[in-house]
């Protein structure tokens, strides 16, 4: 018997999953974390990362090791990628060696090119447009805290970046209400907003606003991310006064549900997008969220590679 619901599939976007497939992944992740199921998958995962990584790199590596597989770290500095080998050539070569490839890069188009030219499954380990693997862990953490996802409200406050985009899709698929509060010039991708609205129709609500207090009111999950993502560091100083009203602090948390939890995909800039008191406070589930990267990604790998149940 094997776990094969996503066998051979790419995960380039949260929108690549159906609501049923998302539920199945989260169930498997919870069972793996609780030790209720043990899987074997002696395959080879390649990590092709153009951006710095701690949680994604380590969690994928440990997950694959625990499944009985191996990981090859294909850092650009030690491969021909760093010397300008074309994406289409690299994709076709790695396809002959690996069983699955996780890519962390800037442009979504580069990820899609890899997926087009490689027959093996390709996983989005972060692009400037989306971060679906993080959202799998986020939803697992919310489900652990509340026992369900249906009908809950998640509020994201800050930059309308890749996290905001993937949270829109993930919450819509899971039946959660999602509110995104960003400055007017930093809204999420409009195509993704439209897609999330279509997925949520008749099931949950999608709200895009510039008012963080309106978005936070009564919410069960308060979420934030850095104000300047990787590649935008030179904008950080100019962004600070624009995003200051969007800080997740004690006052904003008090507007949320009394039992609300706080999430952050990390790394965090304490005192900027989130205060020390909230990040380290009793309502923070940030460290559980970070741990769940490993469990959620193990479930994803097991499902894509049809791991055997021991």
Query: Residue 103 falls within a domain, yes or no?
Result: yes
Query: Residue 9 falls within a domain, yes or no?
Result: no
Our answer to whether residue 203 is catalytic in this structure is no
Query: Residue 2 falls within a domain, yes or no?
Result: no
Our answer to whether residue 179 is catalytic in this structure is no
Our answer to whether residue 131 is catalytic in this structure is yes
Same domain, 116 and 141: no
pLDDT at 130: 98
Is 9 buried (19+), middle (13-18) or exposed (0-12) by CB count in 10 A?
Answer: middle
pLDDT at 32: 97
Same domain, 171 and 239: yes
Query: Residue 6 falls within a domain, yes or no?
Result: no
Measured distance CA(25)–CA(29) in Å, rounded? 6
Residue 111 maps to which CATH number? 3.40.50.1370
Q: How many CB atoms lie within 10 A of CB 51?
A: 16
Of 128, 112, 140, the closest CA to residue 166 belongs to 128
Same domain, 275 and 302: no
Residue 143 has pLDDT above 90, yes or no: yes
pLDDT, one tens digit per residue, over 287-310 is 999 999 999 999 999 999 999 998
Our answer to whether residue 134 is catalytic in this structure is yes
Query: Residue 184 falls within a domain, yes or no?
Result: yes
pLDDT at 77: 74
pLDDT at 1: 63
Give the containing element (helix H, strand E) for 45. Answer: strand 44-49
Same domain, 95 and 163: no
Measured distance CA(292)–CA(226) in Å, rounded? 20
Our answer to whether residue 9 is catalytic in this structure is no
Residue 106 has pLDDT above 90, yes or no: yes
pLDDT at 4: 74
pLDDT, one tens digit per residue, over 8-35 is 999 999 999 999 999 999 999 999 999 9
Among 36-40, 82-86, 176-180, 251-255, the minimum mean pLDDT is found in: 82-86
pLDDT, one tens digit per residue, over 163-204 is 999 999 999 999 999 999 999 999 999 999 999 999 999 999
Domain count of the fold of the chain:
2
Our answer to whether residue 265 is catalytic in this structure is yes
Query: Residue 7 falls within a domain, yes or no?
Result: no
Q: Left (φ > 0), alpha (ψ -120 to 50) or beta: where does 145 sit?
A: alpha
Name the residue with higher pLDDT: 4 or 91. 91
Task: Write down the residue that tokens 């539920």 correspond to.
Answer: 23
Same domain, 188 and 258: yes
Same domain, 172 and 275: yes
Which of these is catalytic: 41, 133, 182, 265? 265
Measured distance CA(212)–CA(41) in Å, rounded? 44
Same domain, 145 and 278: yes
Query: Residue 143 falls within a domain, yes or no?
Result: yes
Measured distance CA(190)–CA(291) in Å, rounded? 31
Q: Provide the 8-state DSSP code for 188.
A: P
Of 211, 213, 111, the closest CA to residue 162 belongs to 111
Measured distance CA(52)–CA(136) in Å, rounded? 20
pLDDT at 146: 98
Which of these is catalytic: 104, 179, 285, 295? 104
Of 89, 81, 65, 41, the closest CA to residue 307 belongs to 41
pLDDT, one tens digit per residue, over 217-259 is 999 999 999 998 766 777 778 899 999 999 999 999 999 999 9
Which of these is catalytic: 131, 179, 264, 295? 131
Are residues 41 and 310 in contact, defined by beta-carbon separation less than 8 angstroms? no
Same domain, 40 and 81: yes
Same domain, 246 and 149: yes
Same domain, 164 and 117: no
49: phi then psi, degrees, rounded to nearest 5: -115, 120
Are residues 114 and 273 in contact, defined by beta-carbon separation less than 8 angstroms? no
Name the residue with higher pLDDT: 82 or 59. 59
| Mean pLDDT of the 43-48 span | 98
Same domain, 160 and 221: yes
Measured distance CA(81)–CA(202) in Å, rounded? 46
| Exposure of 244 in the CB half-sphere (CA atoms within 13 A) | 5
pLDDT at 282: 98
Same domain, 298 and 276: no
Measured distance CA(22)–CA(266) in Å, rounded? 23
Which of these is catalytic: 57, 108, 133, 134? 134
Q: What share of the chain in percent tops pLDDT 90?
A: 90
Pairing assessment for the beta strands 100-104 and 44-49 based on DSSP bridges:
parallel
Range(s) of the domain holding residue 232: 134-289
Query: Residue 8 falls within a domain, yes or no?
Result: no
């Amino acid at each position: 018997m094997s776990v094969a619901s996503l066998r051979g599939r790419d995960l380039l976007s949260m929108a690549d999953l159906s609501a049923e497939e998302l539920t199945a992944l989260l169930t498997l992740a919870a069972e793996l974390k609780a030790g209720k199921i043990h899987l074997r998958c002696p395959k080879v995962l390649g990590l092709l990362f153009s951006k710095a990584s701690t949680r994604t790199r380590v969690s994928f590596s440990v997950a694959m090791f625990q499944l009985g597989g191996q990981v090859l770290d294909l850092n650009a500095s030690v491969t021909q990628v760093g010397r300008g080998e074309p994406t289409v050539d690299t994709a076709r070569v790695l396809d002959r060696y690996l069983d699955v490839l996780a890519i962390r890069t800037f442009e979504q188009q580069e990820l899609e090119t890899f997926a087009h030219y490689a027959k093996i499954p390709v996983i989005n380990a972060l692009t400037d447009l989306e971060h679906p693997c993080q959202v799998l862990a986020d939803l697992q953490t919310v489900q652990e805290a509340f026992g369900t996802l249906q009908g809950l409200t998640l509020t994201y406050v800050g930059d309308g970046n890749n996290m905001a985009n993937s949270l829109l899709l993930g919450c819509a698929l899971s039946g959660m209400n999602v509110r995104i509060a960003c400055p007017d010039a930093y809204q999420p991708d409009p195509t993704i907003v439209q897609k999330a609205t279509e997925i949520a129709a008749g099931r949950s609500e999608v709200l895009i606003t510039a008012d963080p207090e309106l978005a936070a009111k009564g919410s069960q999950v308060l979420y934030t991310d850095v104000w300047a993502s990787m590649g935008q560091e030179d904008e950080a100083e100019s962004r600070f006064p624009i995003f200051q009203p969007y800080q997740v602090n004690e006052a904003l948390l008090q507007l949320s549900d009394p039992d609300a939890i706080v999430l952050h995909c990390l790394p965090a800039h304490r005192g900027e997008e989130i205060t020390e008191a909230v990040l380290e406070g009793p309502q923070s589930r940030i460290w559980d969220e970070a741990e769940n990267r490993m469990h959620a990604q193990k479930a994803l790998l097991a499902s894509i590679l049809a791991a055997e149940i021991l």
